[in-house]
Structure 1
Amino acid sequence: MGIYLRTVIIYAFICLIRGQNDTLLRREVNDLRTTLEDMLQFNRNRNVQINDLPEREDEDVPTLIGKLSNLLRIPIMKSDIQAVHRIRGVPGRIRPLVIQFSNRQLRDAIMEASRRVRLTSCDFYPDIPRKPIYINEHLTRYYKKLLYETKRNAIDRGYKYCWFRNGKLFVRRDDQTPAIRVHSFADLDLL
């Protein structure tokens, strides 16, 4: 066997090993990123994000939380709130309000009640046009993007349901099929 043929075989073998290692490294990096994102999302498990709640310069957050408590019929005490602030949102839209509660049970009760009660802007400010207000889990940037892409893929592939609950993203084709957990962007190819 000539030196040229040996060199070609050795080069091909090196490329094969490198390709296998690249695949393994990519998979490991993806797994580590998913673990990190799950941990970051878990840190928000006591938070809710209120979208489309009008923002005013003279905004009185304790009064807003009191109104929310009355509308949802869930007592929210001052001691139940760890933090409240507006976060950066989409330019040209109302900045979302994030509330961090002292425990997850209260957050879950708020989320459940918000599904039953249709909140509107008039509930908080009677002098403005009626627009719906939504209460959702406070997602990390990664999970916001993953949810958006999953919804797009789910529609294109005939899935009827796509939802995010308790830090996990799911899709389901119809009422008779089981839910499928989406962990990362790589899972979108498997839908």
Structure 2
Amino acid sequence: MSERLSRLDQLSRASNLEIQCVPESNSENVIKLVEQLGRTVKSAHGCVIPYSHPLSNTNQTHNQKKLQSCDLGIGGKTSCPIYVVENLSPENKELHAAARKRGKELGYKFVWIRGGKIFMRKDESANYTFVKNTDTLTRLT
């Protein structure tokens, strides 16, 4: 039952994104920030991004131009990286953190999220592993 509730919780977040590491501002306007993010991402890719595009991988995929606070018109003199990620349920956030930690311990090159699900891959030639729960992580080698 708890697994089903967890899946429903994640499903209810399917159309939500988190924008992380945005510098605080007294004049912050979330609507304008999201609009600017949309314009910035659209121009960086040259097209409208479909829902299934891995926005959570924007900084890794496009190494030549990482998303920065200056791209969104904020940050003043110094700019900092901005991350756009899928909104995960508390359980999945915890599992994702554990997967990143375990992946680092075992030398995994890739840990990512797609559609609220967590995946890992040792290297480019390896098959991916779907991380369903912590048992999956303990079985990894």
Q: What is the TM-score normalised by the length of structure 1?
A: 0.60
Larger radius of gyration: 1
Query: Is residue 34–residue 183 contact of structure 1 (8 Å, CA) maintained in 2?
Result: no
Distance 1:110 1:151 in 2: 18
Q: Where do residues 1-191 of structure 1 align in structure 2 (5 Å cutoff)? A: 32-73=1-42, 107-109=51-53, 111=55, 114-115=58-59, 116=62, 118-123=66-71, 124-125=73-74, 127-191=76-140
SS at match of 1:68: helix
SS at match of 1:108: coil
Distance 1:160 1:64 in 2: 32
CA deviation profile, 1:105-163 (whole Å, cap 9, x unmatched): 85435827945452211222152411000000011111111111111112212322111
Q: Would you tell me which structure has more helix in proportion to its own residues?
A: 1
> 1:171, CA displacement in angstroms?
1.1
Root-mean-square deviation (CA), in Å? 2.4
Q: What is the TM-score normalised by the length of structure 2?
A: 0.79
Distance 1:189 1:114 in 2: 29
Residues 106 and 55 of structure 1: CA distance in aligned 2, closer, same or farther (over 3 Å):
farther
Query: Is residue 69–residue 75 contact of structure 2 (8 Å, CA) maintained in 1?
Result: yes
What is the letter of the counterpart of residue 52 of structure 2? D
Distance 1:112 1:148 in 2: 15
SS at match of 2:23: coil
| Runs of 5+ unmatched residues, structure 1 | 1-31, 75-104
Q: Which moved more, 1:39-48 or 1:63-72?
A: 63-72
What is the letter of the counterpart of residue 179 of structure 1? Y
Residues 51 and 174 of structure 1: CA distance in aligned 2, closer, same or farther (over 3 Å):
same
What is the letter of the counterpart of residue 69 of structure 2? S
Query: Is residue 121–residue 130 contact of structure 1 (8 Å, CA) maintained in 2?
Result: yes
Distance 1:118 1:178 in 2: 27
Q: Which has the higher contact order (CA 8 A, sep 6+)?
A: 2
Query: Is residue 102–residue 137 contact of structure 2 (8 Å, CA) maintained in 1?
Result: yes
Q: Percent identity?
A: 27
Q: Across the two proteins, how many residue pairs are aligned to each other?
A: 130
Distance 1:177 1:63 in 2: 41
Q: Which moved more, 1:112-121 or 1:38-47?
A: 112-121
